[in-house]
Structure 1
Amino acid sequence: MTPLPACCTPLDAHWPLPTPLPGTVFLSTRFDPTLLAAGDFQRSAVPSPPSIQRSVAKRQAEFLAGRLCARAALHRLDGLDCIPAIGEDRAPVWPTHISGSITHSTGHAAAIVGHKAQWRGLGMDLENLLSLERAERLAGEILTVDELQRMGTVDREQIALLVTLTFSVKESLFKALYPIVGKRFYFEHAEVLEWSDSGSVRLRLLTDLSSEWSHGTELAAQFALEDGQLLSLVAIGAG
């Protein structure tokens, strides 16, 4: 395999979430944009789209790190040597028989892949934990009326976690479902029904996306909090 650039740590296969997903490959890396060097994309054999070439070092480094995770994960899963391009909808373009997701936040990138025969949709999102002040300010944009009511029943020190989790898990839901339904939806179109400190989450759709994915459909998710970052995952099985 192509050597990693100095801006990325060795790829880590440690599974960070409560429940492992059989048949998937997860890889993550830490990256430092200040260590990104001219020519790293070429040396890593990662194509750099024009939008990335015009970007600041942070965006270039997170894109490079995410694609390196994705390429290595695809190689481990299926022996493939490919890097997902950016589609017209800005989403990664995976091989037709593969479900996958790439995510990154400050200094941390990850990818997960699996076969569509086993996992129809995989959506993963990494977020920095919001401060309490920012969480309270953003709650009205991220949470539905019912979610806001439920937020009023939790201890104030849990509000930052709740709002970050709600944001992240809805991002993961979109990433998992959008490739299946081909239809955009937004924060107000799903709600978090319940979550636990152990990392389990239950979601419900509040809109009709297709005959199968209709208003009221419930889905499971999971999350983990580590070093001030929250990772969430929505996995839709084929069975």
Structure 2
Amino acid sequence: MLGTLLAAEPVTVVETREDPADPFLFPEEADAVARAVDKRRREFATVRQCARTALAGLGVEPVPILPGPRGAPRWPEGIVGSMTHCTGYRAAVVARDSAVLSVGIDAEPAAPLADADVLNLITDETERAALAGLGVRHPDVPWDRLVFSAKESVYKTWFPLTGRWLGFEDARLDLAPDGTFAATLLVPGPRVEGRELTGFRGSWLIRDGIAVTAIVLPLTPPPLGT
């Protein structure tokens, strides 16, 4: 899925639908999830196996990938990347920092949010009005789940650039039926090449019961409105 979505980007994608019978973890990684339930340990291990396979495609030797601040993965020097997992899907995307500034991916079940109140927590009135319109024109798409996923991808792209928290209310999403989205930052953004970044562009795809969203931020991001 993400391999299709990001085929034109300078990134390496590895994804899987299944957990291996005995997924490998470095001792430091095993310690990080020693108290977790089996499901969590398998997700943690499989997505790191995806990441190490992707890194191997860049010529990077296998290394532990430990959670850093706020759970963000600590990538080897010179690497940017993102990982995601949900029921029935795990994926990792990596790139050289000489090719890509930051990456954010997220996967979710392609179904409406289980709790309708969540939508009010993650969107503002402008977003909800736009989602309502999309729902009328394209009722087969779980737009509320997509906006949640896209905001997760925004955060994963944002955090490596800033080291700061970004709340759901701090970015406004504009989803399009053509499989793209734009995120406008409602707080001061990071400075890139002397210019404040005001938002991100991304893409989305739904297939076989899974929804994925992704942002690949180029080294010289174009202005959001272009």
Q: CA RMSD, aligned part only? A: 2.4
2:26 to 23, 33, 46: 46
Is 1:114 aligned with 2:102? no
Pair 30,152 (structure 1): closer, same or farther in 2 beyond 3 Å: closer
- 1:50 Cα deviation after fit: 3.1
Amino acid of the residue matched to residue 67 of structure 1? R
Q: 1:69 to 1:172 in 2, by over 3 A?
A: same
Structural mapping, 1:89-128, within 5 Å: 89-128=70-109
The yes-or-no answer on 1:236 pairing with 2:217 is: yes
Q: Percent identity?
A: 27
Q: TM-score, normalised by structure 1?
A: 0.81
Unaligned runs of 5+ in 1: 1-12
Number of aligned residue pairs: 216
Q: Is the 8 A contact 2:151 2:168 kept in 1?
A: yes
Residue 22 (structure 1) aligns with:
9
Partner of 2:183: 203
Question: In structure 2, how many angstroms separate the alpha carbons of the residues matched to 1:105 and 1:45?
Answer: 19
1:1-239 equivalent positions in 2, closer than 5 A:
15-17=3-5, 19-32=6-19, 40=22, 44-47=24-27, 48-131=29-112, 134=114, 136-156=116-136, 158=139, 161-196=142-177, 198-212=178-192, 217-239=198-220
Residues 140-178 of structure 1, C-alpha deviation per residue, up to 9 Å, x if partnerless?
A: 112122101222323356386211111111101111111
Q: Which secondary structure does the structure 2 equivalent of 1:84 belong to?
A: coil
Paired letter, 1:23: P
SS of equivalent to 1:92: coil
Tell me, in whole angstroms, the C-alpha distance in 1 between the residues paired with 2:168 and 2:191. 20
Aligned mates of 2:105, 2:10 — CA distance in 1: 16
Q: TM-score, normalised by structure 2?
A: 0.85
Deviations 1:202-227, CA, capped at 9 Å, x for gaps: 11111113345858x23210011112
Q: Measured at CA, do residues 71 and 162 of structure 1 come closer, stay the same or move farther in structure 2, by a change above 3 Å? A: same
Give the C-alpha shift of residue 78 in structure 1. 2.3
Please say if residues 200 and 220 of structure 1, whose CA atoms lie closer than 8 Å, have aligned partners that are also in contact.
yes
Structure 1 CA distance for aligned equivalents of residues 130 and 94 of structure 2: 34
Q: Which runs of 5+ in 2 are unaligned?
A: 221-226
